[in-house]
């Protein structure tokens, strides 16, 4: 993934769906990953998440880019798997595809500390 091929990759509608591994592949990986981290919570309430999301050019199936993300504080079982990091990923994706933030900067900030990523790239509101 490079800055020069964004229009044909992450900024193209349907891109992430075209590269996302099936649950048949990721379910077994998620269980093994949870064990390697010592995660003992309900795996159905945790997300098998990409450190660098697919929409930011992250590798879809590299173990170094995947981890079991526990549910956020206050998470309700009925809510399914969702977390505040998803909104940061969406905002960074929009900023990259609009040319406001370089891809490499978005990737390094989300991998470093997603909770401060938007402020780090100078767009604390995601716009």
Digit-coded pLDDT (tens) for 7-22: 999 999 999 999 998 8
Number of domains in the chain: 1
* Within-domain flag for 46: yes
pTM of the model: 0.87
Distance, in Å, from the CA atom of 75 to the CA atom of 82, rounded to the nearest integer, reads 8
* Within-domain flag for 63: yes
pLDDT at 24 over 90: no
Distance, in Å, from the CA atom of 30 to the CA atom of 117, rounded to the nearest integer, reads 25
* Within-domain flag for 105: yes
Backbone region of residue 70 per phi and psi (left: phi > 0; alpha: psi in -120 to 50; beta: other values) = beta
Domain holding 55, by residue range, is 3-120
* Within-domain flag for 66: yes
* Within-domain flag for 57: yes
What pLDDT score was predicted for residue 80?
62
* Within-domain flag for 127: no
* Within-domain flag for 37: yes
* Within-domain flag for 23: yes
What's phi and psi for 48, nearest 5 deg? -85, 100
- Tell me the pLDDT band of 111, cut-offs 50, 70 and 90: very high
114 vs 1: which has the higher pLDDT = 114
Q: Coil, helix or strand for 71?
A: coil
Distance, in Å, from the CA atom of 25 to the CA atom of 28, rounded to the nearest integer, reads 6
Contact (CB, 8 A) for 34 and 46: yes
């Amino acid at each position: 993934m490079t800055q020069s091929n964004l229009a044909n990759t992450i900024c193209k509608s349907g891109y992430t769906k075209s590269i996302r591994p099936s649950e048949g592949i990721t379910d077994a990986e998620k269980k093994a990953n949870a064990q390697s981290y010592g995660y003992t919570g309900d795996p159905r309430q945790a997300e098998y998440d990409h450190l660098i999301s697919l929409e930011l050019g992250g590798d879809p199936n590299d173990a170094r880019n995947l981890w079991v993300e526990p549910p956020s504080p206050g998470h309700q079982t009925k809510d399914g798997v969702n977390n505040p990091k998803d909104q940061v990923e969406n905002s960074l994706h929009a900023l990259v595809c609009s040319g406001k933030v370089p891809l490499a900067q978005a990737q390094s900030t989300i991998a470093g500390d997603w909770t401060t990523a938007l402020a780090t790239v100078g767009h604390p509101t995601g716009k």
